[in-house]
Amino acid sequence: MGRAVFGAALFAVVLLATLLAPVLRPVDPLEPNYRATYAGISAEHPLGTDRLGRDVLSRALAGGRVSLSIALSATALTILLGGSLGALAAAVGGAVDTVLSRAFDSLLAFPGFLLVLLVVAILGGGAAQTVLALGVAGSPVYFRLARAYARSELRSEYVTAALALGASRPRQVLRHALPNFAGSILVQGASTAATFLLVEASLSYLGLGVPLPTPSWGNVLQESRAFLTRQPWAAVGPGLFLAAASLSFQFVADGMRDRLDRRS
């Protein structure tokens, strides 16, 4: 439990830092300064400057906003997509169930990162495309989860009774199954968010995600790679933020998983 709290706290810190960045650190992340390129750590630039003289710290914070919003919206999308289709498959059953299950199984059989890479590349790269690709790639897990829950709920006694009394199946699924999967979904979701954050960073690093000059944690790291030896803080700094955010999600997931295990 302690870990979940720590994780949540860490996440809150990172989130607030990135959201409040324009206030706390009013330096334009896009503002170049050709006389101060590759500058090291200083009072004016706590993480130095990059190859165009832009402040690395504000780029890291601004990049955080972009990366976090992509990761979180992709997580929401994937839960919605997988979850709703899973519940649907369970509620309706029959051919719909078989087709959907097969489709998601096929999706699962595909090597994850490569799938996202190809989809984003084919869609032409970009933030929205990344969200879409991640949302689709992550959905099989939630499909299975939602379907399993919905099916077990539908078999439970009180639902059987309700159905016998004439209630509709989908409504029963919604009313009864939903609150129970909420816990599992939160745990899985936190873990998914951590993964998506890292995948988005990897995609942007490869040049397929968020396009420059808009900073995201991934493309800022990619830019810094060229002068890794000259100004290492431009690489280490944003990476620390990324690691902190990812770690906080993992801690939340772990902590909540322990708590749920203990309860059941």
Partner 1 sequence: MEQARLYPRSPQRRPWRSAVLAVAFAALLGSASAQTLTMAMAAQPDTLDPQVTSATAAFQVAKSLYDTLVEVDQSGEIVPALAESYEVGDDSLSYTFHLVEATFHDGTTLDAADVVASLDRIRSPDTASPKASEFAAITSVEAVDDRTVVVHLSQPAPALLATLASGWGAILPSEKVASGHDFGNQPVGTGPFSFVSWQRDNAVTLAANPDYYQGAPQVDEVVIRFVPDSAVQLQGLLTGEFHVIDTVAAADQAQIESNPSLALVRDPSGLALVAALNTRRDHLADARVRQAFNLAVDSQTVLDVAYGGGTPIGTFMEAGSPWMPASIEPFAYDPEAARALLDEAGWDGSVTLDMALPQPYENHIQAGQMIQDYLRDVGVSAEIRIVEWGVWLSDVYGGAHDFDVTVIGHTGKLDPTGRLDGYGTEADNYPGFDDPEVAAWLEAGARETDVETRRELYANVLTRLHEGAPFIYLGTPDRVHARSADLQGFWITPMLDSFDFRTARFE
Partner 2 sequence: MTRYLLGQALSFLVTLWVVLTLVFLGMRALPGDAATILGGMDASAEQIAVIRERLGLAGSLGVQYVGFIGDVARGDLGDSLRERRPVTAVLLDRLPVTLALAALAFVISLAIGVGLGLLAGLKPGGLFDRVTTLFATAALALPEFWFGFLLILLFAVNLGWFPVLGLPPTGLSWQASWHLLLPAVTLAIPRSAQVARLTRAQVLEQRRADYVRTARSKGLAGHAVARHIAANALPGVLPLLALELGGLLTGTIVVEQVFGLPGLGATILGAISARDYPVVQGVTLLAVVVYVGVNWVADLLQLVADPRLRTA
- Residue ranges binding partner 2 (CB under 8 A): 3, 102, 105-106, 109-114, 117-119, 121-122, 124, 194, 198, 201-202, 205-206, 221, 225, 228-229, 232, 235-236, 239, 242-243, 246-247, 249-251, 254
Q: What is the C-alpha separation between 150 and 9, in angstroms, rounded?
A: 33
Of 240, 253, 237, 94, give the one whose Cα is nearest residue 184.
Answer: 253
Interface mask toward partner 1 for 117-156; x: CB under 8 A:
-------xx-------------------------------
Q: Which of 34, 157, 263, 264 binds partner 1 (CB under 8 A)?
A: 34
Q: What is the C-alpha separation between 192 and 71, in angstroms, rounded?
A: 9
- From the list partner 1, partner 2, none, pick the one residue 226 interacts with, judged by a Cβ distance below 5 to 8 Å according to partner type: partner 1
Q: Tokens in use for 100? A: 């959907």
Q: Is 51 in the site for partner 1 (CB under 8 A)?
A: yes
Q: Which of 15, 27, 52, 81 binds partner 1 (CB under 8 A)?
A: 52
**DSSP E strands, the chain:** none
Q: How far is CA 263 from CA 33, 113, 186, 259, in A?
A: 56, 34, 15, 6
Based on CB atoms, which residue is closest to partner 1, 129 or 184? 129
Q: What is the C-alpha separation between 108 and 138, in angstroms, rounded?
A: 9
Give contact residues for partner 1 (rule: CB under 8 A).
32, 34, 37-38, 51-52, 124-125, 207, 211-213, 226-230
